[in-house]
Amino acid sequence: MSNLQIFEPFSTDAFNEMFKGLIRPLQFEFASLAPTIRVELSEKDDAYHVRAEVPGVRKEDIKVKIDGDRVSISAETRHEDKEKSHGKVIRSEFQYGVTSRTVALGGDVDAAKSTASYADGVLDLDLPKLPSSAAKTLTIQ
């Protein structure tokens, strides 16, 4: 028996084997610096409640914007890491990140009566609903 094999230089497998390991996806060391905002949304008859997880962010760096039936939450993180040796800075890294999340609600929110609180990495938003205008049926004359 002979061990002859057909060599196809332009087959997909041969091409992939030739360049395996040369092309790798780009990875950034601090791509995960900005936290992902996870949201839990609940609704009552008169209000919405949004509970957002924003860990490692100061409350001064969180912005909440209400626009009709949309609520946007954005957070900015800042991290400065320094190493000193005998009074000289050997390495200094400044890392900044911004993340945001927008939630569409079922109806408009009364921005004037809305409240927000932040403790232990959790943002709580109480968003009262605006009274909806009742639909009116027109009589055709």
> Tens digit of pLDDT per residue, the chain (141 long)?
556 666 665 555 555 565 555 555 444 444 445 567 899 999 998 999 999 998 888 889 999 999 989 999 999 887 666 666 677 777 767 667 888 999 999 889 999 999 999 999 999 999 999 887 555 677 787
* CB-CB contact of 129 with 46 (8 Å): yes
Q: What is the pLDDT of residue 6?
A: 61
> What is this structure's pTM?
0.63
Q: What is the pLDDT of residue 36?
A: 79
Kindly report the number of other CB atoms within 10 A of residue 55's CB atom: 13
Q: What is the pLDDT of residue 103?
A: 92
Q: What is the pLDDT of residue 29?
A: 46
Cβ-based neighbours of 104, under 8 Å, separated by 6 or more: 69, 70
Q: What is the pLDDT of residue 48?
A: 95
